Amino acid sequence: MADCLNNQLLTYCFSLPGLLGMPSTLQHLREEVGLAGESWETLGGDWQTLGNLWLRTETALARSGRTDLTFAEIHNLSIPDVWKDWMCAKLMRTEAARPAESFGKVFTDYLNGLPSSAQKLSGTVMNEGWSRPGKTGIVGLILCLYWQAEYAGAGKDWQENIKRVERIFNAILATPDL
C-alpha cells in the first residue's frame, strides 16, 4: 500500500506543469519556489524565462564545488531574515514561515543594496554567500521573487527585480572558472 501511495505521489509531483530538468536534490522544492504548478503557469513568460536561466546557472554553479551553507554561515549573511529562516528550515527539513506582505519592499531594498558590480558580467557576484548551488544558494533568489509575487503583488518592483536577478544569473554564468 505504501509503495502505491509513493508511486502516486511521484506521478503527481512530476506531472505538474513546471520547469523541467531541475536537479534531483531540489525537486521537492519545485512548487514551493514557484517553478511548478499554478504559479509556473500564471506568473508569465518572464518568470518561465528566468526559471530556465536559473536552471542553467544552478547547473554551472554545481561545478564550482561549493556546498550548502552551515547554520553559522547563514546567520552571518546580509540577506532578509525571512530568507535566512527559510534556508535554515530547509537544512532542518522543516516547513518555513511565509513572509509578511511588506516582504516585497524588503526584497527590492535588498537587491538595490547589492554592489552594482554584483549585477555586471565582470562583477563580484561570486563573493555573495548565496552564490552557490543547492537549497542555500541562488534558488533563494527565485524563492524571494516568488514570495514577492505571491504575497506582495507582482507589480513594477517585481518586474524590475526579475531583471536584476536575471543580470545576477548572467554575471554568474560569465564567471570564467565555471
Q: Residue 119: what pLDDT?
A: 81
Per-residue model confidence (pLDDT) at position 153? 80
Q: Is residue 87 part of a domain?
A: yes
> How high is the pLDDT of residue 9?
46
Is 157 within a domain? Answer: yes
Enumerate residue ranges in the chain where pLDDT < 50.
Answer: 1, 4-5, 7-13
Whether 31 is covered by a domain: the verdict is: yes
> What was the pLDDT predicted at 43?
95
Q: Decide if 170 contacts 58 (C-beta within 8 A).
A: no
Q: What span, in angstroms and rounded, lies between the C-alpha atoms of 119 and 95?
A: 31
The per-residue pLDDT for 3 is 52
Cell numbers standing for residue 89: 528550515
Residue 129 lies in a domain: yes
Whether 178 is in a domain gets the answer: no
* Residue 115 resides in a domain: yes
- Between CA 90 and CA 87 the distance in angstroms is 5
Model pLDDT, residue 124: 87
Specify if 50 maps to a domain.
yes
Residues 128-171: tens digit of each pLDDT: 999 999 999 999 999 999 999 998 887 899 999 999 999 999 99
Whether residue 88 contacts residue 74, with contact meaning beta carbons closer than 8 Å, is answered with: yes
pLDDT of res. 113: 94
Residue span of the structural domain in which 27 resides: 2-173
Output DSSP code: residue 70. Answer: P
